[in-house]
Structure 1
Amino acid sequence: MERAELGAVLRAARSRIGPAAVGMPAGFRRQVPGLRREEVAQLAGISVAYLTRLEQGRGPTPSVQVLGALARALRLDGDDRDLIFHLAGSAPPPDTRVTRQPGPGSRELLDRLQHHPAVLLSAASDVLVWNRLAVELFGDFAELPARQRNMLRLRFLGTGLPRMSADAMRAIPAEHCVGGLRGAYARYPGDGQLRALVAELRARSADFDQIWRAGISRTLRSTAATIDHPDFGPLTVHGDALRLPDADQTLVLYTPAPGRTAAVFRLWRDRATEVPAAGTAAEQSLSPDAYPVLEALGGTSHGNQAVGVSRTSGISRVVRF
């Protein structure tokens, strides 16, 4: 136990938090910033004398219950909470709920991944953030109610995405996703939303229940899948799962198979950067592998340009691959 360092951290934390933050009146003659020892002791349910000894670095080793009470009283969370546990020689308690807020910079990171579709998933497979090419591949998650933005719910219970039918969703391998959910179920015993999701999936999907009963816990892994896109037909992609351990979230980056799928991805990239004049299509140069793709989709090519025709929308545009 690092008694002196723990005392210094507790004193600093007490000085940073004002009475209003914990619902206490400010009162008069408050000569130093932050809470008084008496106020912290009251909030934590310990004696003033015990807190004084801890802050002076001469107290006994506090129990995990006392450390938890001090962390709550001082409004410590995350790394700050873990710090006082480590200084006292105890393991920090695990988080009890899934983090469903994207970490700082996550949206900017996905926006910079302009060449491939990417989504950020919570430990419960909630879709938290997605980039523009993910909209091209899956459809816009913003069109779905927040409760429906969950890959496992969409895979086993949903009606699909705006650009993916329910059958196409069910064709995506799910064993690793279900195994990852089982692991999250064990890590977050206090997350009622997660437990309700598992109960609903098991009750309404025999396929999910069968995989769940296999009892396999896995992290989300990289996998290949063929997606039947409504505009461009079968697209073969490889999903690379990159775990972000601080928030227990996963960034999934989708790379195309060489050939036809790669050409469609280049089409999407260029479409995202087009700035056509009103009522006209942007004219761009094409690489040779663009022509067979667009011709297979019902488009025509001429010179170094091609007119692509969507199978469902019928919208023509001149694009660059």
Structure 2
Amino acid sequence: MSKRTELADFLRSRRARLQPEQVGLAPGHRRQTAGLRREEVALLAGISVDYYIRLEQGRGPQPSEQVLSALGRTLRLTGDEHDYLLRIGGRPPAPRLGVPAGPPPNVLRLLERLGAVPAMVINVCWDVLAWNRMLAALIGDPSDVPARERNTLRWLFGSPTLPPDHAEFARQAVADLRASARHPDDPDVRRLVSELSAANPLFAELWAELEIEVPRTVTKRAVHPVVGEIELDCEILPLPGGEHRLVLYTAAPDTPSHHALQALSSMAAPCRGQGDPLTT
């Protein structure tokens, strides 16, 4: 999908979700358009109707940053959505393509220091690049699977159905992949999207919704084979450079899940992938 097509689809989807009263317009009668009319968006953004129609049709000149920002304000975009609009509109610096280098040494040292906290480093494709012993104790040692399969999205969408408590995380993960600064230019992102869309109808449905969101904190629940049911806060922290994120799993103090993590810590053994970037 070209950037023009991506921009056109995104503008249409965001226009359709807004009602006139949300932007200070009278609802009127006999409206046949879902959401705002094109004419209303153009009026509120301060651009010509013909120009906006061409944007939604994937035609016309590349919009300026000022035009994109005006459209972002008119369509009530979130911060993540506005950043995405600028990227597909062709206004930010060109993204770096290809798989980036592994996590820097200081991040690997940090993983080693997080002795009692399950932690891993992922890239924008959600590949697991490095992890510590507690992460291996929590989900299994990623070294036990081939390098290509060390991917959170492939794990998540490996089955056509998801447990109910994974639905929100799945939605956020797909929205984050679309929000990636390397989408839609990066071949690794395009390849992953094509693969998962063909293999899993749920992923294809979520991808088609054009949601844009960079997750920060997600609550995840699971049943561990040793310590039983566990509920953890998953913190996703961006690392300098924008290519990698540090993922931490924590539990509120003095809760059953906190005690379960303590039990895992006492049993966890060094894993083969501890602190090692994914290079194979």
Aligned residue in 1 for 2:218? 223
Equivalent runs, 1:101-250 vs 2, <5 Å? 101-157=102-158, 173-184=169-180, 187-250=182-245
Aligned residue in 2 for 1:261? 257
Q: State the secondary structure of the residue aligned to 1:173.
A: helix
Q: Could you report, residue by residue, the CA deviation over 1:233-265 in whole angstroms, capped at 9, with x for unpaired residues?
A: 210000111111314211011002442111111
Structure with greater Cα Rg: 1
Aligned residue in 2 for 1:32? none
Flag the structure with more relative contact order, 1 or 2, with Cα contacts below 8 A and sequence separation at least 6.
Answer: 2
Q: Conserved in 2, the CA contact under 8 Å of 1:226 and 1:235?
A: yes
Q: State the secondary structure of the residue aligned to 2:169.
A: coil
- More displaced 10-residue stretch of structure 1: 95-104 or 235-244: 95-104
Q: Could you report, residue by residue, the CA deviation over 1:161-190 in whole angstroms, capped at 9, with x for unpaired residues?
A: xxxxx8699567211111111122x63444
Give every structure 1 segment of 4 or more consecutive aligned residues whose post-TM-superposition deviation is greater than 6 Å: none
Q: State the secondary structure of the residue aligned to 2:126.
A: coil
- Aligned partners of 1:264, 1:211: CA distance in 2, in Å? 33
Q: Which runs of 5+ in 1 are unaligned?
A: 1-90, 160-165, 275-321
Q: Which runs of 5+ in 2 are unaligned?
A: 1-91, 271-280
- Aligned partners of 1:256, 1:218: CA distance in 2, in Å? 24
1:158 Cα deviation (Å)?
Answer: 6.2
Aligned residue in 2 for 1:279? none
TM-score (norm 2): 0.57
Cα gap change, 1:190/1:97 in structure 2, threshold over 3 Å: closer, same or farther?
Answer: farther
- Aligned partners of 1:273, 1:195: CA distance in 2, in Å? 37
Q: Could you report, residue by residue, the CA deviation over 1:23-50 in whole angstroms, capped at 9, with x for unpaired residues?
A: xxxxxxxxxxxxxxxxxxxxxxxxxxxx
RMSD value over aligned CA atoms? 2.8
Q: Could you report, residue by residue, the CA deviation over 1:128-149 in whole angstroms, capped at 9, with x for unpaired residues?
A: 1111110111000011111111
- Aligned partners of 1:139, 1:129: CA distance in 2, in Å? 13
TM-score (norm 1): 0.50
Cα gap change, 1:251/1:169 in structure 2, threshold over 3 Å: closer, same or farther?
Answer: farther
Cα gap change, 1:116/1:143 in structure 2, threshold over 3 Å: closer, same or farther?
Answer: same
| Percent of matched pairs sharing the same residue | 33
- Aligned partners of 1:177, 1:119: CA distance in 2, in Å? 16
